[in-house]
Amino acid sequence: MATPDPDLLSTWQFELPEHLIASRPAASRDDSRLMILNRRQGTIEHAWIRELPDRLNSEDLLVFNNTQVIPARLFGYREQTGGRWEGLYVESDGGGNWILLCETRGKLQPGERIQVVPADCWLRDDLGPQSAGSFSRLTLTLVSRLADGGWLARPNDSRPAVQLLEENGSLPLPPYMGRKIADEGDRERYQTTYASQPGAVAAPTAGLHFTPQLLQRCSERGVQRTELTLHVGPGTFRPVTAERLSEHVMHEEWCRLPAAAATAIGSKSAAGRLVAVGTTSVRTLEAAAAATGVQFPTAWEGRTALFIRPGYEFRAVQGLLTNFHLPGSTLLALVAAFAGFDLVMDGYLRAIEKQYRFYSYGDAMLIL
């Protein structure tokens, strides 16, 4: 039998029953299941996320991404046509403009104005563009179309973007959850308990499993922890469209390894493992290692378009906690680069067989 070509997109496809896509979280964060892959032995075990402290060594170091999901989802009406408009704030350009992804009927034009309205008003059938002015506190003027299809827009309010989004936006949810508007449950659960740095448009989902009690139990076990930041961008939802991974243009994200994290990593015992919580932590750690050329003696921050796929040589990470990812995704390729293609795909097939839950609100995989 021919060995699958890891560069072909078709190699990363598999059939996932729709009922295994977790559109809602488990009753409690630590109710999720945990699949454990041992890279050295090639074994697969089944456990629960609440058992994680028992699966780690006392000198291990967990590295968390402390980014906070911002209410980046926007709804409104086009002043010129009255048509409905949806947008996603990506980031600011440093000059007072916002970078947005826009969705609407008809072709948008530079100079158009968008009246942003609260999500609950946008959903009401008895309200429309004529009423938008009564509810809108934010107007966006489209400046220019960007090369990647996004838009540069200027808000009519000079306050910080995070503040304006808190007043006018909604928490963005992945499209596979099947609902446009986040509810009260999402506002609590689609955010890690330790999130502190606003800027992400998607959650670092491996961290969603951690309760304060689970973190405390890890600490009592002697497991150390530290934090870095990567603001997850919309590229995490974009599918690979190239036939070969080597032809895929990876999205860019801003990340930071602070001095405290660099110190914690540098002082870690040689017997302890550096365990990244989530693929975003992996990406930041490996980007920092590549940029500095050494294993983090100092702080580092910057933008990275690092694409980790089979053949990549890891410089820093020795363990990974992650969720189950989409077929054909760059995240699945990253996990297989770390654990090996055969072991990971075998794990995914067993996860489907044993009815694991997939994606953001789904179950977890620990690779050691």
Residue 297's pLDDT is 62
Across 79-90, average pLDDT: 93
Q: Which residue has the tokens 């609407």?
A: 104
DSSP code per residue over 23-73: SS--SSGGG-EEEEEETTTTEEEEEEGGGHHHHS-TT-EEEEE-EEE---E
Residue 215's pLDDT is 98
pLDDT of 368 above 70:
yes
Residue 94's pLDDT is 85
β-partners of residue 87 are 74, 102
For the chain, what is the mean pLDDT? Answer: 93
Residue 196's pLDDT is 98
- The Cα 341–Cα 329 span in angstroms is 14
CA angle 324, 329, 332 (to 5 degrees): 45
Q: Which is nearest to 26 in space by CA: 238, 243, 210?
A: 210
Which CATH code is given to the segment(s) 73-170?
Answer: 2.40.10.240
Across 87-99, average pLDDT: 93
Cβ neighbours for 39, distance < 8 A, ≥ 6 positions apart: 338, 339, 340, 343, 367, 368
CB atoms within 10 A of CB 331: 20
Across 48-68, average pLDDT: 97
**Superfamily for 9-69+184-367?**
QueA-like (3.40.1780.10)
**Residues 252, 304: contact at Cβ < 8 Å?**
yes
Residue 296's pLDDT is 67
- Give the pLDDT confidence of 214-231 residue by residue, as tens digits: 999 999 999 999 999 999
Q: Is the dihedral of CA 304, 22, 223, 332 positive or negative?
A: negative
Q: Which residue has the tokens 């939802």?
A: 237
Residue 132's pLDDT is 66
Residues of the chain with CATH 3.40.1780.10: 9-69+184-367
129 compared with 114, residue with greater pLDDT: 114
With pLDDT > 70 as the criterion, what percentage of the chain qualifies? 96
With pLDDT > 90 as the criterion, what percentage of the chain qualifies? 82
| Stated pTM of the model | 0.94
CA dihedral 334→337→343→346, nearest 10 degrees, is 40
Cβ neighbours for 226, distance < 8 A, ≥ 6 positions apart: 61, 62, 63, 64, 260, 261, 264, 265
pLDDT of 240 above 90:
no
Within 13 Å and on the Cβ side, how many CA atoms surround 258?
13
- Give the pLDDT confidence of 167-216 residue by residue, as tens digits: 999 999 998 998 989 999 999 999 999 999 999 999 999 999 999 999 99
**Between β-strands 33-38 and 364-367, what pairing exists: parallel, antiparallel or unpaired?**
parallel
Residue 133's pLDDT is 67
Across 239-252, average pLDDT: 90
- Give the pLDDT confidence of 319-356 residue by residue, as tens digits: 999 999 999 999 999 999 999 999 999 999 999 999 99
Residues of the chain with CATH 2.40.10.240: 73-170
- The Cα 364–Cα 205 span in angstroms is 9
Q: Is the dihedral of CA 304, 234, 108, 71 positive or negative?
A: negative
- Give the pLDDT confidence of 120-158 residue by residue, as tens digits: 888 777 666 767 667 778 999 999 999 988 999 999 999
Give the neighbor-by-neighbor strand order of the sheet with 319-323: 43-48, 33-38, 364-367, 319-323, 274-277, 61-65, 224-230, 253-257, 300-304
Across 252-267, average pLDDT: 94
Q: Which is nearest to 130 in space by CA: 117, 111, 143, 112?
A: 117
Residue 292's pLDDT is 81
CB atoms within 10 A of CB 332: 24
CB atoms within 10 A of CB 76: 27
CA angle 280, 284, 286 (to 5 degrees): 115
- The Cα 201–Cα 72 span in angstroms is 6
